[in-house]
Chains A and B, each alone.
Chain A
Amino acid sequence: MASAVDAVGNPIPTSTVLTASAKNIGIRCMPENVEFLKCKKKDPNPEKCLDKGKEVTRCVLGLLKDLHQRCTKEMDEYVGCMYYHTNEFDLCRKEQEAFEKSCPFK
């Protein structure tokens, strides 16, 4: 992995980037997530929940882009540390604190 962003500047939703911003996703995209999961519970057919899935994807990708724009350096460092330690939270506490201080949960 060379960088967390593709050519245009959007963060690529790899496992590293997603786990690094998992706390933010859990807080900021909670309504969309809950709606999608409720729809899935009602009917596991993928064709029936495509619109809610689109909402979820839109919310998460927008959130990733917003996070990356607001604190580029801290997020890149945190994602790099996560990539090195394969998504192990306990080994990246320093970068996690720096990231959460610069991009606080709203």
Chain B
Amino acid sequence: MTEAVIRKKPGMASVKDMPILQDGPPPGGFPPVRYARRIPNKGPSAMAIFLAAFGAFSYGMYQVGQGNKIRRALKEEKYAARRAILPVLQAEEDERFVKEWKKYLEYEAEVMKDVPGWKVGESVYNSGKWMPPATGELRPDVW
């Protein structure tokens, strides 16, 4: 009912005579639609990209090398300090060791005084070089 009220043509006899309401193109048609590819061909070439990447990589590796140089210098400083103080520490330890060793030799002489042919403090090795005592304990008084 409402369509006939809206699209009424004066003097129409039936609904079949109504003017046609269609959705269609505007007069003159639609403007043309571009559907062709248009990928531009400008920008850096392959060689340029490769050189840029290679340049960034080499700069990074150069910085790595510089950083390693700095770190090596720091480590060298630490090692040089340790080399410088090594003799003092060794000398102090030698003094302490000699004192303890003398006490131990007296104890050994006391324990083995009845064993015939026992040489106190004799080295158990045949190489002739001095070897540190292999008791398995580094500082028994500390333990």
**Chain A residues at the B interface, C-beta cutoff of 8 Å:** 13, 18-19, 22-23, 25-26, 29, 32-33, 36-37, 40, 43-47, 49-50, 52-54, 56-57, 60, 89-90
Contact = CB atoms under 8 A, between A and B. Distances in A.
A26 B98 contact: no
Given A32-B87, A50-B98, A57 B80 contact: no
Given A36-B90, A53-B94, A90 B84 contact: no
Contact of B84 (A13, A25, A40, A89): A25
Interface residue range, chain B: 20 to 34
A40 B97 CA distance: 15
Nearest to A25: B84
A59 to B, nearest CB: 9
A89 B74 contact: yes
Contacts of B33: none
